[in-house]
Amino acid sequence: MNPSGTAESSSDSPVVALATRVRAEVGRVLVGLEPTVDLCLCALLAGGHTLLEGPPGVAKTLLVRTLATALGTSFARLQFTPDLMPSDVTGTSVFHPRDGEFRFQPGPIFAQVVLCDEINRAPAKTQSALLEAMQEGSVTIDGKSHALPRPFAAFATMNPIEHEGTYPLPEAQLDRFLFKLEVGYPEPAVEARLLAAAHGRAPAATPAELGVRAVTSAEELLALRERVADVTVRDDLCDYVVRLLGETRASRALALGASPRAGVLLLRAAKARAALEGLDYVTPDHLKEVFLAGLRHRVLLDPAEELEGLTTDGVLQQILDTVEVPR
Same domain, 183 and 281: no
Are both 209 and 324 inside the same structural domain?
Answer: no
Q: CB of 276 within 8 A of CB of 19? A: yes
Domain that holds residue 122: 7-219
Question: Mean of the pLDDT values across residues 6-11?
Answer: 48
pLDDT per position as a tens digit, 38-77: 999 999 999 999 999 998 889 999 999 999 999 999 999 9
Kindly tell me the sign of the dihedral angle through the C-alpha atoms of 122, 124, 126, 128: positive
Please tell me the predicted confidence (pLDDT) of residue 162: 62
SS3 156: strand
Per-residue pLDDT tens over the stretch 190-202:
999 999 988 888 8
Same domain for 101 and 73:
yes
Task: State the Cα–Cα distance between residues 207 and 87, nearest whole angstrom.
Answer: 29
- Alpha-carbon distance of 176 to 170, in angstroms, equals 10
pLDDT digits (tens, 9 = 90+) for 121-171: 888 888 878 888 998 999 988 888 899 999 999 999 988 766 667 777 878
Residue 182 near residue 115, CB atoms below 8 Å: no
Q: How many domains in the chain? A: 2
pLDDT score recorded for residue 161 = 66
Q: Which of 175, 190, 219 is the last residue of a domain?
A: 219
User: What is the pLDDT at residue 51?
Assistant: 96
State the pTM of this model: 0.91
Question: Using one digit for the tens of pLDDT, what is the confidence trace for 288-308?
Answer: 999 999 999 999 999 988 888
Same domain flag for 152 and 78: yes
- The verdict on residue 65 lying in a domain is yes
Segment 98-122 mean pLDDT: 88
Q: pLDDT at residue 212 above 80? A: yes
**CATH number of the domain residue 244 falls in:** 1.10.8.80
Q: Alpha-carbon dihedral of residues 310, 52, 207, 224, nearest 10 degrees?
A: 110
> Is the per-residue pLDDT at 224 higher than 60?
yes
Residue 281 lies in a domain: yes
If asked whether residues 188 and 147 sit together in one domain, one would say yes
Same-domain status, 191 and 241:
no
Q: Which tops the pLDDT comparison, 162 or 111?
A: 111
Integer Cα distance of 221 and 150 in angstroms: 10
Point out the domain boundary residue: 196, 219, 242: 219
Please check whether residue 301 is in contact with residue 257, taking contact to mean a CB–CB distance below 8 angstroms: no
For the chain, what's the residue count?
Answer: 327
Domain end marker among 219, 254, 278 = 219
Do 210 and 257 lie in one domain? The reply is no
Residue 25 to residue 41: CA distance in whole angstroms: 13
* Residue 172 pLDDT grade (very low, low, confident, very high; cuts 50, 70, 90): confident
In a domain, 114, yes or no: yes
As a whole number of angstroms, the distance between CA 20 and CA 225 comes to 16
In contact, 234 and 287? CB cutoff 8 Å: no
User: For residue 237, is pLDDT > 90?
Assistant: yes
The reported pLDDT for the residue numbered 168 is: 79
